[in-house]
Amino acid sequence: MPELPEVETTVRGLKSRVLNRTFVDAWTDFPKMVKRPEGFDEFKKGILGKKIENVRRRAKNILIDLSGGKVLLIHQKLTGHLLVGEWKRADGKWRPTGKGPLSDSVNSFIHLIFWLDKGMLALSDLRKFAKVELWDRKELEESKEFKKIGPEPLDESFGFKEFKNILAGKKGKIKQVLMDPNVIAGIGNIYSDEILFRAKVHPLKNVFKLKKGELKEIYKTMKDVLPKAIKLEGESFSDFRKVDGSKGFFDKERKVYRKEGENCPNCGNMIKRIKTGSRSAHFCPSCQKL
C-alpha cells in the first residue's frame, strides 16, 4: 500500500501537472470504486466543470480541492496509483498514446479516467480496492473519520514532546502502534519496519516498556526516514508508480522490509520476518533485541 512518502510524491506530482485544470468528462468500468455520492452518474455530475484549485495530503488520503467548495478524496489502498498522461481505447484496454514509463504493465490496470481541459488523469489499480469520494470541503473536515486521524509526523509542530505524549498510555506492540493512523498519520508496513530497524527497537516490544532513549531514537529516525523517502520519490518494488508512470528510488535505501533471509547491513546476521496481528514485521534479531 502506498504510504506517506508515496502519497506525498503523488500529491507533488499532481500539483505540478493538473493544478488549475478543469474536469470535462469521466469514465469507469468499476463504479463500486466511487463510494460517495452513491452512483457514478451522480459523482460525475458533481465534478464536471469543477477546477482543480489545490492538491494536498492528509495521512494516506489524496485531497483534490475543487472550485465550488468540493473536495475529491482518493485513497489508493493496496495497489492503486494515479497517473497523468494521454490514453486511447484499443482492444478493450486503455493504452498510452506515446512511449515511456506509462507503458509499464503495472500502469495498465486503469479503472477510472478523468478528462481534463488539458490532458487526462487516470487511476490504475490491480486489486480494485481504491476508494474515491466527493465531499463538501467543510463536511469532510468536520467528519468523524477525518477528526480521528492522528497528527502528521512531519509537521513542524509535532516535536518529541508531542510524540512521547501520544504514545503515553498506549497498549500494544510498537510496530502496530506506529501503523495506527489514529495515533500517527501515514506510517504503514514499509516505513515502520525501516524506522524501527534504524532505531534498533524490536517491532514486538510493548510501547509501555520503551525507554526514553528508545523513544528518542524512534522519533529521530522517523523524522529522517520519511523525508528521505519523499526526496527519493517513494518505494516502487511493488505496484506504486509516480504520476508519470515511473518508479521511485527509495529501494536503494530499504534495509529490512521484505528482505527476510538476507544479511543485515549492520551486523551480517539474517533478517527475519514474523507476524504481528495480520501484518508482517521484518527485523534483525541481533540489532533489535526484545
Domain 4-147: homologous superfamily in CATH? MutM-like, N-terminal (3.20.190.10)
According to the model, what pLDDT value does residue 1 have? 82
Instruction: Identify the band that residue 169 occupies on the pLDDT scale cut at 50, 70 and 90.
Output: confident
Q: Is 60 in the active site?
A: yes
Percent of the chain with pLDDT over 70: 100
Q: Is 3 in the active site?
A: yes
| Candidates 36, 44, 58, 279; catalytic one | 279
pLDDT tens, position by position, 70-119? 999 999 999 999 999 999 999 989 999 999 999 999 999 999 999 999 99
According to the model, what pLDDT value does residue 279 have? 87
| Candidates 60, 175, 241, 259; catalytic one | 60
Read off the pLDDT of each residue in 161-175 and give the average, rounded to a whole number.
94
pTM, entire model: 0.97
Q: Which CATH architecture has domain 160-283?
A: Orthogonal Bundle (1.10)
Q: Is 138 in the active site?
A: no
The domain spans of the chain are: 4-147, 160-283
Instruction: Identify the band that residue 185 occupies on the pLDDT scale cut at 50, 70 and 90.
Output: very high
pLDDT tens, position by position, 193-210? 999 999 999 999 999 999
| SS3 assignment for the chain | CCCHHHHHHHHHHHHCCCCCCEEEEEEECCHHHEEECCCHHHHHHHHCCCEEEEEEEECCEEEEEEHHHEEEEEECCCCEEEEEECEEEECCEEEECCCCHHHCHHHCCEEEEEEECCCEEEEEECCCCCEEEEEEHHHHHCCHHHHCCCCCCCCCCCCHHHHHHHHCCCCCEHHHHHCCCCCCCCCCHHHHHHHHHHHCCCCCCEHHHCCHHHHHHHHHHHHHHHHHHHHCCCCCCCCCCCCCCCCCCHHHHCCCCCCCCCECCCCCCECEEEEECCEEEEECCCCCCC
